[in-house]
Structure 1
Amino acid sequence: MKNRKKTIDKIKKQFIQAVPTIVFFLFLFYTILIFFGVQYMTIVSFITIIFKIQYNKSFTIKKMLSITVQLLVLSMLAFFATLHPALSVLLNCIVPFILVFVQASQFNQKGYMANMMAFVLLQLRPVGWSGIWPLTIVLCYSILVLAVALIIVAFTHRHKDSYVLIKKANTQLYDLTQLILHHQDPAHQIQAMILTQQALYKEAYQSRGLTYVITKSGKLHYMFALLMQRTIYFFESRYEQDMLEKENDYSLFATFSAYTKHLSNILNDKKTYQKEGEILLQEASSKEDNDICAFIQNFMRLFMIILDIREEGKDNQPMREWRMPQHLHPLEQLKAKFHLDRFEFRFACRLSCVMVIGFLFSNLTQWNHSYWLPLNAIVLLQPMYEESNYRLKTRFIGTVAGSIGVYILLSIFPGINAHFIIATIMVTCMYTATPGSWMQAMFSTCFALTMTTMALQQEIAIELRITYVVLAIILVLIVNRFLFPTSMTTQFRYNLQRMFHMQHAYLMILRSALEKQIDYGVICDALTSYHMVYAQLHQHVSKLDGEEKAFYQDILLIFWRMAAEMEQLLFLVNQQRIGVDNQRELWNYIKVNHYVLQHIQMMMNLGEVNLIDVKDIVYKRKIEGEPSLSLAMEQYAKHISRLYYRTFTYYKDKNKRITTE
């Protein structure tokens, strides 16, 4: 009964979430059917996909114009692809590459899907030169309905809170300080805060544009992520209970805890919090210099910066002073994506191959409903091998189940009216079901066959549907097996390699900061990208088991701490000038850390490594006269040592087991 209740609650929740999408689909479906005819029904599917993606996001005229231009261009390209098999091959080879390269990324692997579906579906029913204008009119009508629907959603949700994550972070921060005050174990709370911190970094990363790293809203999320990161790191790595034994320190921390209770009020009441914050900062600065006072000072200084950011303009306003690093400019990114180890290049090759073969088969055979082959293949082909393999199974099961269901339903309820009632029910169930599941495939099949059987004999439609699904499965299996396969395991190793690359990049940024002040956009990009990769690694490690899982969990925890210390190092070096002698010592420190990281990479067999020369280098973990910098240097060096030791012992034991076996 308990499991049944959970299932019912889950279905209710999914249905409520799907209601806007269902209403939009049905409205567009029936208005196009009534005003323009059944031959334009394919437009409904991809317009609904765009609505589903966009309706939870903020609406802007600029974004709507961009969507309109993209769809009109894709409609023209799809039209030309239907004119001749040679054009079909050419455009179905080029367009997928463009869409994947421009709209997909490692952190948004399916960003291409909406426009890709538009390009595919617009090719399914060739209209010829005489039908181009009617098609364009229907497409423009659909875009108009999309715009009106998004405006209505934006208007009804105009009071929607865009700072939910920040408020959640504030609540968790206050709860943590209360646990500390009452001498309770904060481990569970810290784990929850780490997840929120990752979500804050993700929100910040997603606000980036072509020429700027972040918007105002993204900047606020980023700065709160830094607050969380510094807080978590302090209480996990440096805090000891005896730090609050003195009455003055306990009283100060209690005042700090009370201040954090309503931090999210800065979104509405900056002046009060700024005044109280300045008093708290002054109080912490006036007391004797210890770890608790230092933590509160660092926290409050960063929070004072956040208070100023709150007044900088509109939430979606780009922070152009945080410029995009040179290597992330659009042209540079495009060049980088042509490497064989990049997800975008490998997947674009597979996608183009499936598109070309699918439409070539459809164009040359001219078999009845042969366009079902490329349509099913595009749904089955997923960026990762494991996900694609899962879709192959669920699609086949769902297609067979849906075919049987349609046969039974239409036998019991014949007639045109029954067809439309069944189609409406199936659409409702389709958008309620979990995407990619066999149930969604079943409802999708039921809807497609219900519409098809109005013009085609029921048994023939079912046979064709199953046949083309099987052919699509075979095509995708072959392409996934032999053309640049990309699995979650290979992506995991690529991400591990990127983690090391990013640590090397951090050290080089630190080296540059010795000579000149670094644009904070570079640091922001490095830190947000680092945590995006970290989140993907963490997601994969959670699916492992045994000793391998324990090893990678330890590795990731060390990486997280290294990132926290490096952020401190970059901040300290970027804010203060260091003497020539100290610069030399810090440069030696950086070179040795490069060297140790390279050795760890070699042990883990993560790409080719050219070891740097560290002969005759005097390695120091501290710099005279720089206590804060020395503390961060020492902690970072300890983390690298732990990383080396953990990796060495793991692979030593692993090799022993292999030798014994």
Structure 2
Amino acid sequence: MMISASRRERTMTDNGKMAQVLKRWRSVFPTIFVSLFLFFTIFFLFGSKQVILVSFLTLFFKTKSTQDFTFRELIQAYGRILLAGLAAYGATLNLPLCILLNLLVPFLLVYLLTDKFTPKAYFVYGMAFVFLQLLPIPAKLLPVRIGALLYAFCFLTAVLYLHRKIFRKKRHYGTVRRGMANMALQLEKLSEGRRDQRDMADLVQMMYHMNQVIYASRNYRYLADRYGKINYYFMIVFQRFRYYMTELSEPKKCTAFKVQRYHRQLARVFRDVEQQMNEADNQELITEIHHFQSHERLEDEKLNQAMEFILGLIGFALKEAVSTDKANREREWRRSRGRTGSPKAFFRNFHPDRFQVRFALRLSVVLCISFAFCRITSLEHGYWFPMSAFLMLMPYSEESMLKLNNRIIGTVTGLFITFFLTEIFKTFWGHIGIIVVMTCLMYYVPVTSWTMPMYSTCYGMALTTLSLDTGHAIALRIVCVGLAAVTVWLANRFILPITAKSEFLKSVNDLLDIDEKLVGELQKSLYDEEDRSLLREYMMVSNLLSEEIRNYMKENMGENEKQFYSRLLPINRRLLSEIEQIHAYLKKYKVSSRENPAIEELLGNMEQALKRIRRGFTKNELNSFLTAGSEFRAYGKLEEEIYFNTLALNCMNSVARISEILPEKSPNNI
């Protein structure tokens, strides 16, 4: 009996593993199909010299197939690839152009497309620029290359739309729906007098994910498209709800019959939003929210006002969600240009402390050196040097060293396998068979593993050994990969390195800097001068920085170090929510400094306090200087508004708490 049970367990385990393998193959099949289809059609239609296009075009498909896209966005991306291809052709004409373009083009690609939150947005276009230099073509073949690219663009467009229709449904605010269900569950538990921190942790994680979605939808002119905008509104809803649950409500007081009834009915409203929210007509949901607001109230005016603001924003977001074009952009969300208006601000954008500037310069120098070396030495198949260097060099030094190690191990192993396979399969179709098998395996394994470069080495060597002796090809490959490894290692050490620790320290400083800027925008709102797009961007970046700090803590810190930042992040998150709610209140009731000079004084004091906090953290000179106290203060005409005064007092306390804990930690002690 026991033996039989053990066999059943092993069978179930084996079946589970097999199911996972099949699921993985199904998920990578579209990418494998695109790669093989492009390889064979381009090879036979446009010639072997154009097969180099397949690698970065397949990566483009793999990336875009996981995202929402519009036809206009595809055309823009194709335009960037085409321009990169033309620049690559120019770089192959002579040595001066090679040096100039390999310094300029990679710098522009990285600088314009990436930052610390999207560090690899340059990769497809950089790969196109690098790979299209690897096999120089004469001028007469340039129209053929352009024709091959245009053919590939048409195929990719068709297959991307087909993939979206068959394999993947368009996004319908899945995280928003999960968040609404989470809020309903928390309200139901609150009505029973209990609160589960795991529910709140799940909601916070959803907020971080939504920030990434919003940030990814931006471009040079607009902060977010319509899909990102709706995610932003609901992210603010979740942020306000979290504050309502953790800072305003008390579980013990929520079991009274009227409060209990209010929260249970509100939970039903939230579940209706979760289940019925759509992009065609949300009027019934909006009516349901308005009906709830007009018939249900909490006796605690502070809680009632807080929830009124949450419900008002949900109703507004539901109204805005009714659209057929989620990629549409609106003037209200146009990104601010004020930060680059002066020459000083313009040159500050190119300061070597900036993440994208540091990596852009490092990548440009490495590519310039490697391609110049190839032209000067005329080393046979020397293009493996810049190709390997590009694939090894990553924004962060730690990741780059991991890639370097994986590339060396994968290359050596791949060459060993290639030696035996090419001895067995010596014919043209034998080599093609190796390419097909390696393509399948290459896209099946994780990108971060050493097996990925192993299979890609076999793929490349199978092509190379069609026209070159196997032993000679292996020796050249080892030399070029070795040169690339040495170059990348030196670049990571001496050319503006970016380490996880250095960026962590910058993230903490930036987080404190954004707190100060947000209060500055609050002050401007008293005079109707604030830039709402800028304020929204600060809100998103603050959340993204918090997530970066949290991830670094988990992976790189001991328990003693974690304690400080585990205290800082919740306080900063609370301050962020308080600032956003104060801003919403001031705008809704059109509060001015003339009518309420005490508010201007409050915000001015907080801004000065935050300036000193940031300066103190940076220079390790911080002393406690702000005491919020526990005395309640009413602000002018708002003296009856308990919700606002609670926010104001809590906001002062949050700033004071940050000032109290920061002397415990300085950058030198991390």
Fold match (TM-score > 0.5)? yes
Specify whether residues 480 and 639 from structure 1 end up closer, same or farther in structure 2 by C-alpha distance, changes over 3 A only. same
| 1:83-130 Cα deviation digits (max 9, x unpaired) | 101110011011011111111122111111111111111111111222
Whether 1:562 aligns to 2:581 is no
Name 1:102's counterpart in structure 2: 112
Q: CA deviation at 1:412?
A: 3.6
Report which stretch shifted further, 224-233 or 311-320: 311-320
- For 2:330, the equivalent position in structure 1 comes to 319
Task: Give the structure 2 partner of residue 111 of structure 1.
Answer: 121
Match of 2:460 among 433, 440, 448: 448
Query: Residue type matched to 1:573 in 2?
Result: L
Partner Cα distance (2:510, 2:225) in 1 = 25
Q: What's the counterpart of residue 419 of structure 2?
A: 407
Letter in 1 for 2:646: L
Q: Out of 280, 302, 308, which is 2:292 matched to?
A: 280
Shift of residue 15, structure 1, vs aligned partner: 3.0
- Do structure 1's residue 150 and structure 2's residue 186 form an aligned pair? no
Q: Find the partner of 1:550 among 538, 563, 587.
A: 563
TM-score (norm 2): 0.91
Establish whether residue 520 from structure 1 lines up as the match of residue 512 from structure 2. no
Q: Is the 8 A contact 1:204 1:218 kept in 2?
A: yes
Counterparts in 2 of 1:329 and 1:532: CA distance versus 1, 3 Å: farther
Whole-Å separation in 1 of the counterparts to 2:666 and 2:332? 45
Equivalences for residues 235-254 of structure 1 within 5 A: 235-254=245-264
In structure 1, the partner of 2:38 is 28
Q: In the alignment, which residue of structure 2 is the partner of 1:307?
A: 318
Q: Which residue of 2 aligns with 1:541?
A: 553
> How far did 1:342 drift?
0.3
Give the CA deviation at 1:519.
4.7
Q: Which residue matches 1:590?
A: 603
Query: The residue matched to 2:331 in structure 1 has which SS?
Result: coil
Percent sequence identity over aligned pairs: 25
Q: Is the Cα–Cα contact under 8 Å of residues 622 and 634 in structure 1 kept in the other structure?
A: no
2:575, 2:654 within 8 Å by CA — same for their partners in 1? yes
Q: 1:542 to 1:306 in 2, by over 3 A?
A: same
Amino acid paired to 1:436: T
Match of 1:117, SS state, is helix
TM-score norm. by structure 1 comes to 0.92
> Residue 358 of structure 2 is aligned with which of 336, 340, 346?
346
Matched residue SS, 1:389: helix
Q: Contact (CA 8 Å) 1:386, 1:487: kept in 2 or not?
A: yes
Of the structure 1 ranges 67-76 and 571-580, higher mean CA displacement relative to structure 2 is found in: 571-580
Contact 1:398 1:441 in 2 (8 A): yes
Task: Quickly say closer, same or farther: Cα 1:447–1:81, change in 2 above 3 A.
Answer: same
The answer to whether structure 1 residue 508 and structure 2 residue 520 are counterparts is yes
Q: How far is 1:282 from its partner?
A: 0.8
CA separation in 2, counterparts of 1:383 and 1:608? 32
The separation in 2 between residues aligned to 1:5 and 1:538, in whole angstroms, is 37
Deviations 1:520-570 (A, max 9, x none): 333322212221222222221221222111211221111111111111111
CA 1:572–1:195 in structure 2 vs 1: closer, same or farther (change >3 Å)? same
Q: Could you say which residue in structure 1 is the equivalent of 2:132?
A: 122
Correspondences of 1:208-287 after superposition (within 5 Å): 208-264=218-274, 265-267=276-278, 270-285=282-297
Deviates more, 1:320-329 or 1:232-241: 320-329
Cα deviation for residue 474 of structure 1 reads: 0.2
Between the aligned partners of 1:539 and 1:582, the Cα distance in structure 2 is: 44
- Once residues 464 and 365 of structure 1 are traced to their aligned partners in structure 2, the CA distance between those partners, rounded to angstroms, is 13
- Are 2:641 and 1:629 aligned? no
CA contact (8 A) 1:500 1:601 kept: yes
CA contact under 8 A between 2:526 and 2:592: conserved in structure 1?
no
Aligned residues of 1:227 and 1:299 also touching (Cα < 8 A): yes
Match of 1:358 in 2: 370
Q: CA 1:73 to 1:162, structure 2 compared with 1: closer, same or farther past 3 Å?
A: same
| Structure 1 residue 205: Cα displacement | 2.2
Aligned equivalents of 1:297 and 1:451: distance in 2?
A: 66
> Residues 438-477 of structure 1 correspond to what in structure 2 (within 5 A)?
438-477=450-489
Residue 478 in structure 1 maps to residue 490 in structure 2: yes
Tell me the SS of whatever aligns to 1:122: helix
Distance 1:324 1:546, change over 3 A: same
Alignment of 1:4-43 (within 5 A): 11-43=21-53
Verify the 8 A CA contact 1:585 1:620 in the aligned structure 2.
no
More displaced 10-residue stretch of structure 1: 231-240 or 481-490 = 231-240
Question: How big is each residue's C-alpha offset from its partner over 1:426-452, in whole Å with a ceiling of 9 and x where there is no partner?
Answer: 111111111132011111111111221
The one-letter code matched in structure 1 to 2:184 is: Y
Alpha carbon RMSD of aligned pairs, Å? Answer: 2.9
Among 364, 371, 382, the residue aligned to 2:394: 382
Aligned residues of 2:441 and 2:455 also touching (Cα < 8 A): yes
Tell me the distance in 2 between the aligned counterparts of 1:399 and 1:579. 67
- Identify the range of structure 1 (527-536 vs 491-500) with the bigger mean alpha-carbon deviation: 527-536
Equivalent residue pairs, number: 650
Partner of 2:68: 58
Task: Work out whether residues 84 and 128 of structure 2, in 8 Å CA contact, stay in contact via their aligned partners in 1.
Answer: yes
1:428 to 423, 435, 440: 440
| Cα distance change, pair 9–378 in 1 and its aligned pair in 2 (3 A) | farther
Secondary structure of the structure 1 residue equivalent to 2:218: coil
Q: Of the candidates 650, 655, 659, which is equivalent to residue 644 of structure 1?
A: 659
Residue deviations 1:577-605 (CA, integer Å, cap 9, x gap): 44657643223323332343344334433
Judge which range, 568-577 or 483-492, deviates more. 568-577
Q: Conserved in 2, the CA contact under 8 Å of 1:29 and 1:44?
A: yes
CA offset digits 1:594-632 (Å, max 9, x no partner)? 3433443344336999x9x99xxxx98652414322211
Change (3 A) 1:605 1:33: same
8 A Cα contact 1:213 1:319, kept in partner: no
Q: Deviations over 1:207-255 (max 9, x none)?
A: 2233332222212111111111111121122221233232112111111
The SS at the match of 2:134 is coil
Amino acid paired to 2:572: F
CA pair 448-227 structure 1, distance change in 2 beyond 3 A: same
Pairing 1:296–2:311 present: no
Give the equivalent residue in structure 2 for 1:418: 430
**Aligned residue in 1 for 2:588:** 575
Aligned partner of 1:209: which letter? N
Which deviations, in whole Å up to 9, do the C-alpha atoms of 1:236-292 show, x marking residues without a partner? 22221233232112111111111111313121552321222111111234x534444
- Partner AA of 2:270 in structure 1: T
- The answer as to whether partners of 2:99 and 2:368 remain within 8 angstroms in 1 is yes
Displacement of 1:391: 0.7
Contact 1:243–1:292, Cα closer than 8 Å, also in 2: no
Letter in 2 for 1:82: T
Instruction: Give CA-to-partner distance per residue, 1:359-385, whole Å, 9 cap, x none.
Output: 011111111110000000001110011
Does 2:147 align with 1:137? yes
Deviates more, 1:133-142 or 1:397-406: 133-142
| Separation in structure 2 between the aligned mates of residue 651 and residue 35 of structure 1, nearest angstrom | 63
- Deviation by residue 1:22-43 (Cα, 9 ceiling, x = unmatched): 1100000011112222221111
Between 1:469-478 and 1:432-441, the stretch displaced more is 432-441
1:528–1:621: structure 2 CA closer, same or farther, 3 Å change rule? farther
Q: 1:273 to 1:162 in 2, by over 3 A?
A: closer
Contact 2:384–2:481 at 8 Å: present in 1 too?
yes
